[in-house]
Amino acid sequence: MARPSPMPDGIRVHVRCAEVRLIRVFASIKARHTVNPYEQQWLTAQAASEATLLVDDVWVRYVVLGGAADAVAVAAYLHGIVLLDVLHRDLVSYAVNELLQTQPATRQFPVFPDSGSSPAVRRRAPYADESGPARNSGGRTTHTATTLHPSMTYGSWPRLAARLETMFNPFEAEHRRSASLMSTGLVQSGKEERFDLLTQRARRTFDASSATITFLEAGSPVVKSAAGLVLDDLAGRSTFCSHTITEDRILIIPDTLTHKCFVSDSLVVGEPHIRFYAGSPLTGPGGWRIGALCIFDTRPRRFSRQDERQLRILAALVQTEVFDHY
């Protein structure tokens, strides 16, 4: 049998390069893992705490990046009270890391929170899907995987500066919330086209009877913009907005006649006989909830996950306009 001819040097080099690339790909796949969500939460809070970032600044950057959760939810996440879903955890991490890039590295910290012997480097916030252990710009590993809640492994929760309603008694909280609304100037400025365009878009999107942007002033709703049914002189007698700002997320009432809180509402028992409601809270300076984007309909209806997503997107657009006003 004839001996096979030797492989030319050029082909041998290409084959070897292909082998090296495959080895690297398989190694990358093997090393890739999903970061424990509690670990991601703790390390993100630790990065923000060490850099003395304000939760309010993190939240504003998070919203600019497309986040839909309000300041209270983001603050609760950074304080270890609630756990956000993976998308919003990554948005918060991205927001923290962007803020870290804008600050001079005047402080340095140990790589591991429970060790003072590691080289001093600035920690960053990890993302949910890391290629191996999270690494800082210097290439040093900043954390290892754990299945325990980080506070059990690393010690006490990082301290962050934030303004939360739970820090005040109800009277003081309402005073501060009202002051937040007044500081925006939105109540005093009257009707504005930029808000009218958004309520018109919201009404078209959901094919609803009405859409409003409503602020809560001294416990009484004030309609900033309305599309559809004329609710300007009726909203002051309604409780929809005041209930919405107490919710963590979107408030959905498929049929008002079956809900004990709204069955006797003035907009339900009288004109225009509202039967459906969906609202997303809006936030003002300091993270205080100042109002809501509201959807009303005169017929009961279902609200799908896609509808919820669309409402969050529209509420984020309204929130951006609120930001631009102060």
pLDDT tens, 33-74?
Answer: 577 888 888 889 888 888 888 887 788 788 888 887 877 788
CB of 106 within 8 A of CB of 87? Answer: no
The string of DSSP letters for 247-310 reads SSS-EEES-GGG-TTTTT-HHHHSTT---EEEEEEEE-GGG-EEEEEEEEESS-----HHHHHH
- pLDDT for the residue 260: 87
Question: What is the number of alpha carbons within 13 Å of residue 27 lying toward its C-beta?
Answer: 6
The amino acid at 139:
G
- pLDDT for the residue 83: 83
With the C-alpha atoms ordered 52, 57, 61, 63, is the resulting torsion angle positive or negative? positive
Buried-state track 146-176, b at ≥16 Cβ within 10 A, e below 16: eeeebeebbeebbebebbbbeeeeeeeebeb
Neighbours of 23 (CB within 10 A): 10
Report how far apart, in Å, the C-alpha atoms of 159 and of each of 21, 115, 146, 289 are. 45, 18, 21, 23
Tell me which residues of the chain have a pLDDT lower than 50.
Answer: 1, 4, 7, 11, 13-15, 18, 20, 22, 25-32, 105-120, 131-154, 163-164, 235
Nearest Cα to 165, choosing from 76, 241, 229, 244?
Answer: 76
- pLDDT for the residue 269: 87
Q: Is the peptide bond before 272 cis (omega within 30 degrees of 0)?
A: yes
pLDDT tens, 244-276?
Answer: 887 767 899 999 999 888 888 888 888 888 999
- pLDDT for the residue 240: 86
Q: What domains are defined for the chain?
A: 34-162 (no CATH), 171-324 (3.30.450.40)
- pLDDT for the residue 49: 87
For the chain, the first-to-last Cα distance in angstroms comes to: 86
Nearest Cα to 323, choosing from 168, 183, 169, 139?
Answer: 183
- pLDDT for the residue 156: 59
The amino acid at 98:
E
Dist CA 140 CA 67 (whole Å) = 30
- pLDDT for the residue 192: 92
- pLDDT for the residue 80: 79
SS (H, E, C) 251-262: EEECCHHHCCCC
pLDDT tens, 20-39?
Answer: 454 554 444 444 457 788 88
